[in-house]
Amino acid sequence: MSGPIHGESDTLCLVCGENEFSAPFDEVEAVCDICGFVVYDWRDSSTDELMTAQAGTESVQTESWSDIRPAHNSTQHRFSDAIEVIEKVSNALVVTSSVRLTAAELYVEAAVSGISEGRSIDTVAAGSLHIAAKDAGGPRTLKRIANVAHVKQTTLKKTVRRLYDEFAHGNLVKRTIAAPEEYLEFLCLDLCLDSDAPADAATLLQEIGEHSELQGKHPAGVAAAAVYLTMDSPPPQRKLAASAGVATETLRKRLNEFRELLEEFEDG
């Protein structure tokens, strides 16, 4: 993969108006490091028209990816559709620009290896984002991603498993089990909770430690329980469970388990 590149001094990104570009993979000329805008071909006359110093206006930012940069062939069309999915899910689930770029790179790898054949673009793109976010230490649950991407969770799960098998051959990413602590920042951002909430919940998780009662339980559900118990005014259990991608009843079970463990600590 290529390193950072820069456009001409008067060439600004259409979406954000910045002048920082990278060439992360061969299928495109450049990607804006700030917002992810893709330049397919610097020599394309439509690129010259789009990349202007007046870029970044409110009217432009409300347009979809395909409106900003129409695809000119089937390969570009599929890539553009995949980026649309990655951007839509990322915006809804507060995913960073670096993770979005990694997801795009993984999608390209999946397309080159043939994984996308026979599978929907939405599912492969969503699966690539799930893996990229998890690999970066900020996982998003399959349920949340599937809901936003409008794909079946069971189909997405199978696709993610297939993607992991393929990516393992190229040493791109390794399959890991996310820890509850890794979900804390997202839960608090998603629900607009106090800035101290992640640290307080992390402290509780450290105190609980690796107890058998919590082993094998959904890490996002465990994280949600820790957030709930460490807040003076926690969000409704229904909203917290939905953010974590678990059932409300599941969250209640985790809360009961936490309380029992805390009582044992106090008695001990």
Q: What domains lie within the chain, and their CATH numbers? A: 1-70 (no CATH), 71-176 (1.10.472.10), 180-267 (1.10.472.10)
Looking at the DSSP bridge assignments, the partners of residue 82 are: none
- H helix runs in the chain, sequence order: 45-50, 58-61, 65-68, 74-92, 97-113, 121-135, 142-149, 153-169, 184-190, 197-208, 219-229, 237-244, 248-267
- DSSP assignment letter at 183: G
In this structure, are residues 55 and 15 in contact, taking their beta carbons and an 8 Å threshold?
yes
**CA–CA gap between residue 152 and residue 155 (Å, rounded):** 5
Band (172; pLDDT cuts 50, 70, 90): confident
pLDDT tier at 28, thresholds 50, 70, 90: low
User: What pLDDT, on a 0 to 100 scale, did the predictor assign at position 181?
Assistant: 95
Residue 87: name the closest of 75, 99, 77 by CA: 99
Q: How many whole angstroms separate alpha carbon 255 and alpha carbon 31?
A: 44
Mean pLDDT of the chain: 81
**pLDDT score recorded for residue 263:** 86
pLDDT per position as a tens digit, 115-166:
888 899 999 999 999 999 999 999 999 999 999 999 999 999 999 999 999 8
At 4 the pLDDT is 44
Residue type, 60: V
pLDDT digits (tens, 9 = 90+) for 85-117: 999 999 999 999 899 999 999 999 998 888 888
Q: What is the Cβ-side half-sphere exposure of residue 144, based on CA atoms within 13 angstroms?
A: 28
Residue type, 109: E
Radius of gyration of the chain (CA): 21
The span from the CA of 216 to the CA of 177, in Å, is 10
Q: Whole-model pTM above 0.75?
A: no
Residue 153 CA to residue 144 CA, distance in Å, equals 9
- The DSSP secondary-structure symbol of 114 reads T
Residue whose C-alpha is closest to residue 224's, from 201, 192, 195, 194: 201
Assign 203 a pLDDT band (cuts: 50, 70, 90): very high
Q: What is the pLDDT of residue 200?
A: 93
Q: Which of 25-39, 219-233, 251-265 has the highest mean pLDDT?
A: 219-233
Beta bridge partners of 4: 22
Closest to 178 measured CA to CA, from 222, 147, 124: 222
